[in-house]
Each structure stands twice: as C-alpha cells, then as structure tokens.
Amino acid sequence: MYQNGPPHYNPYNANQQYYYNQQSQSTPPPFQPQQASNQNNKKKPQLSPNTLAVVTALLTNALTVQSVLIDKDKTIQVLLEGSLHAPKKSELDILIDQVRDVPVGDFINSLLNQEK
C-alpha cells in the first residue's frame, strides 16, 4: 500500500497498524559496502569557462564577495562585486615604479645629497 511508509502514524487506522507490524517483523538486509570502482569510472568535474573565470577573478582579487545569503530552502546566493576598469596609477605609483630597481643605499645617498 505504501512504498515508503505512511506519512504519519494513525493508531485508529487498522491498515496502517498492519503495515507497521509487518515492517517491524522483517529484518533489514545486511550492509554490503560497494566495491571500489576503477579510477576511470569516476566522473571528473566539468568546469565551464564561466566558472573558471569567476574562480580566477576571486583568486586575483578582481572580484570580492559582497554578501552571502542563505534562504529557508537552504539555497545559497553569493553576491560578487568587482570592476572591469583598470586602476589608474597615481604619480606616487609611477615614481615608485621608476625607483624600484635602484639599490636602497644609492637612493638614500641621493636623498642626503639633495639636502646639502
């Protein structure tokens, strides 16, 4: 009558009582672990280009997580935020790029010589 069992227990329903008595008398089948299948049979995860782009953007900090929402149906929504514009370099960034290859001692000596 019920393949997965009745939705609730009703003590006044004789058919349902019979079902529960019949279920309690039968023993469950013994546990048999599944044999490990070949490595070739395992499904490899398929990553789409969109998924790879999002993962790469997250790893390079091009995208940041703005919020994570979990609703009552246990659905997760992740809101990502980022910009496609390349950040403009300030004058200080340009100066640092020029001085980056100069040894520290030479840079300090040039600063000290300018004060004289």
**For the chain, which residues make up each domain, given as ranges?**
49-82
H or E segment to which residue 54 belongs:
helix 49-59
**Three-state SS for 65?**
strand
Averaged pLDDT score across all residues of the chain = 76
Model pLDDT, residue 12: 63
pLDDT tens digits, 17-73: 555 555 555 666 677 766 655 555 667 778 888 988 889 888 988 889 999 999 999
H or E segment to which residue 82 belongs:
strand 76-82
Contact 81, 64 (CB under 8 A): yes
Residue of higher predicted confidence among 64 and 88: 64
What is the identity of the amino acid at 53?
Answer: A
Q: What is the DSSP letter of 10?
A: -
Question: Distance (Å, rounded) from C-alpha 17 to C-alpha 8?
Answer: 11
